[in-house]
Amino acid sequence: MADRLTQLQDTINQQAEYFCNSVGILQQYSTPSKFPGFDRISTPQQPNQSQEDYAALFATLIARCAKDIDTLIDSLPSEESSQELQVASLSRLEQENQEAAEQLEDVVRQGEALLQRIQAALQDIAQSQLDMQNPTANTVINPSQPLSTSSITSSISIKQETQNNVNAKNHSIPDASANSMQL
């Protein structure tokens, strides 16, 4: 969009165009006047209806354009707004912009912290699901959690119990080849 002065100039140009076109229409549809002592063959007259329509149309366009010009002139900055007032206004806007930037940075920091917490929770959930699917698998040590001797000891005792259970099952299965030889 153009600035106010450019809009004003365009509207004044449009007004000049309306004046020029209205004069051209008046010349085109006006009836010739007779001068005394000058005899000329009269030309056929055109209907007055179209002349009245054009006159009303251009009168409306010119009036509307004049109102637009007045509105644009009223919207121009006044002479009262000095350089000092403009500088003060700009510095106030700059300060508001700085405050908004600081608020935005705070929100971004909070968002990043929340994202890290969500990612850690998702990682814990995924690890828990993997542990539930395969309970005999080696326990994965999470580098973000500190190591404790109780977790290592419980992990070793679970592995020993599982190994003892497997060995006991192997010993309790009767040997089928030994049974067949006794028969």
Query: Can you give the length of the chain in residues?
Result: 183
**Residue 21 falls within a domain, yes or no?**
yes
- Decide: 69 and 8 in contact? Cβ < 8 Å: yes
Q: Which domain holds residue 119?
A: 88-131
Is residue 22 domain-shared with residue 56, that is, in the same domain?
Answer: yes
- 147-176 pLDDT, tens digit per residue, is 554 555 555 555 555 555 555 554 544 444
The position carrying tokens 């007032």 is 85
Which of 60-69, 73-82, 174-183 tops mean pLDDT?
60-69
What is each CA distance from 24 to 43, 96, 118, 124, in whole angstroms? 19, 56, 76, 85
pTM tops 0.85: no
Is residue 6 domain-shared with residue 70, that is, in the same domain?
Answer: yes
Q: Write the CB contacts of 29 (distance below 8 Å, at least 6 apart in sequence).
A: 46, 50, 51, 54
Is residue 70 domain-shared with residue 123, that is, in the same domain?
Answer: no
Instruction: Give me the number of domains the chain comprises.
Output: 2
Is residue 7 domain-shared with residue 59, that is, in the same domain?
Answer: yes
User: Tokens at residue 21, please?
Assistant: 């076109």
Q: Comparing C-alpha atoms, which of 140, 177, 137 is closest to residue 159?
A: 137
**Is the pLDDT assigned to residue 114 strictly greater than 50?**
yes
Q: What is the mean pLDDT of residues 44-56?
A: 64
The pLDDT confidence band at residue 88, using thresholds 50, 70 and 90, is: confident
Is residue 99 domain-shared with residue 124, that is, in the same domain?
Answer: yes
Q: CA 96, 99, 105: angle at the middle one, nearest 5? A: 140
**Residue 60 falls within a domain, yes or no?**
yes
**Is the pLDDT assigned to residue 31 strictly greater than 50?**
yes
Is residue 4 domain-shared with residue 57, that is, in the same domain?
Answer: yes
